[in-house]
Amino acid sequence: MTVFEATCTAPVNIAVVKYWGKRDTSLILPTNSSLSVTLSQDQLHSKTTIRASADFTSDRLWLNGIEESIEKNKRLVACLRETRALRAQIEEKDASLPKLASLKIHICSENNFPTAAGLASSASGYACLVYTLSQLFQLPLDASDLSIVARQGSGSACRSLFGGFVAWEMGEKADGSDSKAVQIAPETHWPDLQAMICVVSDEKKGTSSTEGMQLTVKTSALLQHRIKEVVPKRMEEMIAAIRNKDFPKFAELTMQDSNQFHAVCLDTYPPIFYMNDISRAIIRIITEYNKDGVKAAYTFDAGPNAVIYAPEKNMAEIYAVLSHFFPGATFDDSLGLLSKTSTLPPLPQN
Ligand code: ADP
Ligand code: DP6
Ligand code: CO
C-alpha cells in the first residue's frame, strides 16, 4: 500500500514585543500585535514527519517518542481539519491528484530542546506541523496563509513560518482571516544580531502559556493598560529600530517589553511567576554590563530561561561575564555561531 510522507523542520522564534492574551480562545486571536526574531534552524528546532496511508485506521501522534492522544488536542485537530479541507478543495478541482484528504495520518515530531519550558516549543512545533501538512498535501498557500492555520495550533507558531523579523498583526475580523504573520525584514537584514540561549531550567513549566494568559486576561488591570497604551506605540518603535539596525533602541524596547510581560504575570491573580532567582540574576548582570552603553538585551518568555540578543562582537564578552557569575556553565558551540546555549547551574550561595 502506498505511503505518502513529508518531513520538515521549523525554528523557534523569541518575541521582543510579547503576545500575552487572547480575545478569542478557540480561533486564537490575540489581544495585541507582537513581534519576534526567528532563530537559526541550527539552534532550537522541531522536526516533524507525517505519513498518510489507506492502511492507517486512526490519526496518531508521537511527540518526542511518546504517543499522545490527538482527540483531546483541540488545536492539533483544528490544524488537521483546516489543512484537510484545503486538500479536499484541490482534489475536487483536479481528479488526477491522489485522494489524501480522506486518509488517516501518523505524525511523529521531536524537539531538539526542552519542551514546554518557556523556549517556544509550541511555536516551532505547530509551525512545523502545519508546514509539513502543507508539503504532504501540496497546498498552494504562501507563508502568511499558512500562518493563519498555524496560529490555531499555538499563537506564537504563526511567526515561525517566516525567518528574520516577524510581526503577528492582531487583525480586527471576528473570523481571524486578518490575524496573520508578516515579515518585517529577512534574516539577511541584520546578520550581526545574534541570540544566546541560557538554559536555566529544562523542566516543564507549572502554568502553560495558554492557561497563564487567560488568567491574566480575566484578572489583570495592568494588561488593559499594556494592550491599549503601550504595545501599539512599542510595535512602531520596534519596527523602526529593526529597520535602522539601531541596537541600543532595539535592546531597550526588548528589555522593557520582557519586564512588562512579567509584571503583567505578577499582576495576575493569583500571580504567575515564570522567572526564578537565576533569571533575576541574569537581569542584574546584563543591566550592570550595559551601564556605560547598551551592549546586550535579555528577554524571558513564559519560563525561567533567558535569551540574550547582542551584536556578534559582544557575544564572547557576554559569555565570559556570565561564566564569571555562573562558574561551571557549559557552552555548546557545536550548534554554530548563532547558537550559543549555556546551561547555568544554580548561583553559589552568597
Ligand atoms: P513553550 O514555552 O515550550 O512554547 P507551551 O506551554 O506554550 O510551552 O506549549 C507546550 C506544548 O506545545 C506542549 O505541551 C505540546 O502540546 C505542544 N508542542 C510542543 N512541541 C510540539 C511539537 N513538536 N509538535 C506538536 N506539538 C508540540
Ligand atoms: C510569552 O503561543 O505559547 O512566549 O497561543 O496559548 O499556544 P498559545 O500560547 P503561546 O504563548 C507565547 C507567549 C510568549 C510570548 C510570545 O511568544 O509572543
Ligand atoms: Co508556547
Cis peptide before 248 (omega within 30 of 0): no
Residue 348 is predicted with a pLDDT of 47
Query: Atom 5 in ligand 2: which residue has the minimum CA distance?
Result: 155
Report yes or no: 43 and 12 within 8 Å, Cβ to Cβ. yes
Residues of the chain with CATH 3.30.70.890: 193-343
Report yes or no: 220 and 268 within 8 Å, Cβ to Cβ. yes
Residue 202 is predicted with a pLDDT of 82
Q: Is it the case that residue 337 has pLDDT exceeding 50?
A: no
C-beta 303 within 6 A of ligand 1: yes
Model confidence at 331, pLDDT cuts 50, 70, 90, reads low
Query: Atom 3 in ligand 1: which residue has the minimum CA distance?
Result: 116
C-beta 342 within 6 A of ligand 1: no
C-beta 304 within 6 A of ligand 1: no
- Ligand 2 nearest atom to the CA of residue 13, by list position: 17
Q: Is it the case that residue 203 has pLDDT exceeding 90?
A: no
pLDDT tens for each residue of 38-54: 998 888 899 999 999 99
The mean pLDDT value of the chain amounts to 93
pLDDT tens for each residue of 98-151: 999 999 999 999 999 889 988 899 999 999 999 999 999 999 999 999 999 999
Residues of the chain with CATH 3.30.230.10: 3-185
Pairing of strands 339-343, 60-63: unpaired
Pick the CATH number of 3-185 from 3.40.50.2300, 3.40.50.1820, 3.30.230.10, 1.10.599.10: 3.30.230.10
Cα(217) to centroid(ligand 3), Å: 17
In angstroms, the CA 335 to CA 304 distance is 22
Residue 339 is predicted with a pLDDT of 40
C-beta 112 within 6 A of ligand 1: no
Report yes or no: 241 and 250 within 8 Å, Cβ to Cβ. yes
Helices 277-289 & 312-325 angle (0-180, nearest 10): 130
Query: Atom 11 in ligand 2: which residue has the minimum CA distance?
Result: 209
Task: Identify the residue with better confidence: 349 or 26.
Answer: 26
Max Cα–Cα distance, the chain, nearest Å? 72
The 10 Å Cβ neighbour count of residue 311 is 15
pTM: 0.95
Q: Is it the case that residue 332 has pLDDT exceeding 70?
A: no
Pocket test for ligand 2, best of 301, 305, 307 (most atoms within 8 A of CB): 301
Q: Is it the case that residue 80 has pLDDT exceeding 70?
A: yes
In angstroms, the CA 335 to CA 226 distance is 36
Question: What top-level class would CATH report for the domain 193-343?
Answer: alpha beta
Residue 313 is predicted with a pLDDT of 94
- Ligand 1 nearest atom to the CA of residue 46, by list position: 23
Residue 145 is predicted with a pLDDT of 97
